[in-house]
Amino acid sequence: MRPPAAPGLGPALLPPLLLPLLLPPLLLPPPPAAARRAPRYDPTWRSLDARPLPAWFDRAKFGIFVHWGVFSVPSFGSEWFWWYWQKEKIPTYVQFMKNNYPPNFKYEDFGPLFTAKFFNASHWADIFQASGAKYIVLTSKHHEGFTLWGSKYSWNWNAVDEGPKRDLVKELEVAIRNRTDLRFGLYYSLFEWFHPLFLEDKSRSFQQQQFPVSKMLPELYELVNKYQPEILWSDGDADAPDYYWNSTGFLAWLYNKSPVRDTVVTNDRWGYGTICKHGGYYTCSDRYDPGHLLPHKWENCMTIDKFSWGYRRDAGIDDYLTIKELVKQLVETVSCGGNLLMNIGPTHDGTISVIFEERLRQMGTWLKVNGEAIYETHPWRSQSDDITPNVWYTSKRKQKLVYAIFLEWPTSRSLFLSQPIATLGVTQIKLLGHGQPLNWTSLKPNGLLIQLPHLTFHQMPSKWGWALALTNVI
């Protein structure tokens, strides 16, 4: 995938008077490709942190996280199954194994049972597209170390030699890339719970780099060169410092030389102490939702199942967030300048359970009507209304638009907004998905009272939340 050329000051964009001034330099031979590729990045945080975030990411606002791996086979408790069962020996996990599997069953024996038998990447892509998401992030390798592609460095603990005998990363990449409005991203766990080389390095306080040099770094280069992810979502530093992982060296290559150098976006999980501080956008913590504006681009990664990222057969209906709760998460996050990365966990046989599918499709129907107030917006001067609860603001500066997204429909049909300052005869207010401009009155000293239309249940443009477009307010 080739990124579009950077916009330059071409003669066609300039008024005629300026043309003569520009002509002489244009007659010179173009500089060599390498020289045109400024700026270059050094393997230091100071240099890497100064890289502007590729603009597509902030515009996208909404992505889907997919946690899939061998942990999807037991599909019990959490994607941390192996650790909880064998390292922490948590009784529910130990009992689950005792009750359901033969006595000498090892975690590795789940490998062949990870069949992906019904995995249809094109069908997944249809569902993701219907959700209104603009990017997806797949766990190419979680802490268990099993790679969903045929990594040359994984011995046989990968999806091509074991289980599905298919390159799952490739199949999903092809299907996602076939949708023009979806970008393809990959999650990658730096450490592996039980990898002998990692454990040896750890026992020497990370003063040696056997694991990063022979496994993790070669794998990352392979992953980027083969699948060209536009998000590299790093995780699992295991409290080892970034110089152990050689993170800055790798990122300098990613930004300077890799096939995705112009469009790739990364996060902040690159070694002990880097989170919320270095790298691309900030994730800070799982389910991060600060409720206020941050000076740096950030992402709220959260999951529809409140208790697990991987699929759980033991999940009950109350364990899943409702669509109303999910819409609220999206709106709050975007108002405060974040992106929402909403997680699902597919099953071991490659299906997306109908509850996840329903939530995704519901989000899509909401975004079809209200996406104008989400995609490509900027935070406004206020993030939420300080008088009326559950009202969140976004804006489009160029179009002089402010959006007020309200999550409860007032029974009086009068909505009070304390923040915007409106002008009679100039300000116009519309409910997204509903044609006519609405009546409103200005209140002194500030704020306005908006009359919502009288609509029956079936006339409502959306459920779970509504958006007002306010033109010419300050």
Ligand X SMILES: *[C@@H]1O[C@H](CO)[C@@H](O)[C@H](O)[C@H]1NC(C)=O
Q: Which residues bind ligand X (CB under 6 A)?
A: 43, 120, 122-123, 126, 174-175, 178, 213, 217, 246, 249, 436, 439, 451
Question: Of the candidates 254, 246, 253, which has an alpha carbon nearest to the alpha carbon of residue 228?
Answer: 254
How near is the Cβ of 469 to ligand X at its closest, in Å? 15
Q: Which residue is nearest to ligand X (CB)?
A: 249
C-beta of residue 136 within 8 angstroms of C-beta of residue 63: yes
Nearest to 140 by CA among 132, 131, 149: 149
Q: Among residues 2 and 454, whose Cβ is nearest to ligand X?
A: 454
Q: Are strands 62-66 and 135-141 parallel, antiparallel or unpaired?
A: parallel
Closer residue to ligand X, CB minimum distance, 73 or 217: 217
Asked if 108 and 71 count as a contact pair (C-beta separation under 8 A), the reply is: no
CB-CB contact of 426 with 473 (8 Å):
no
Q: Interhelix angle for 354-370 vs 121-130, to 10°? A: 40
**Between 42 and 161, whose beta carbon lies closer to ligand X?**
42
Q: In the structure encoding, which two tokens stand for residue 121, read together?
A: 């990447």
Cis, peptide link before residue 445, omega less than 30° from 0: yes
Distance CA(263)–CA(247), nearest Å, equals 19
Output 126 or 200, the one with its CB closest to ligand X.
Answer: 126
> In the complex, what is the shortest distance from the CB of residue 293 to ligand X, in angstroms, rounded to a whole number?
34
Minimum CB separation of residue 452 from ligand X in Å reads 9
Q: Measured from the CB atom, is 46 or 306 closer to ligand X?
A: 46
For ligand X, which is the closer residue by CB, 96 or 466?
466
Residue 204 is given by DSSP the state T
Task: Tell me if residue 414 falls in helix, strand or coil.
Answer: strand
Neighbours of 410 (CB within 10 A): 12
- Shortest Å, Cβ 218 to ligand X: 8
For ligand X, the closer CB: 144 or 242: 242
Q: Quick one: DSSP state of residue 147? A: B
CA distance 105 to 293: 49
| Choice between 418 and 451, CB closer to ligand X | 451
Nearer to ligand X, 112 or 437 (CB): 437
Q: What CA–CA distance (Å, rounded) separates 77 from 59? A: 35
Minimum CB separation of residue 175 from ligand X in Å reads 5
Residue closer to ligand X (CB basis): 257 or 378: 257
Closest approach, Cβ 288 to ligand X, in A, equals 29
Q: Which residues pair with 146 in a beta bridge?
A: none
Given the complex with ligand X, which of 92 and 122 has the nearer CB atom? 122
- Which residue in this structure is represented by tokens 């590299």? 232
- The CA distance from 401 to 406, in Å, is 16
Distances (CA, A) of 272 to 139, 192, 240, 289, 465: 21, 16, 5, 21, 39
| Closest distance to ligand X from the beta carbon of 155 (Å) | 19
- Minimum distance, C-beta of residue 147 to ligand X, in the bound complex (Å): 18
Q: What is the DSSP string of 23-34?
A: HHHHHSPPPPHH
Q: How far apart are CA 292 and CA 383, in angstroms?
A: 7
Task: State the nearest-atom distance from the C-beta of 415 to ligand X, in Å.
Answer: 13
CB of 129 to ligand X, least distance (A): 9
Q: How far is the CB of 115 from ligand X (least distance, A)?
A: 15
By the 8 A CB rule, do 277 and 294 touch? no
Q: Which residues are bridge partners to 405 per DSSP?
A: 392, 467
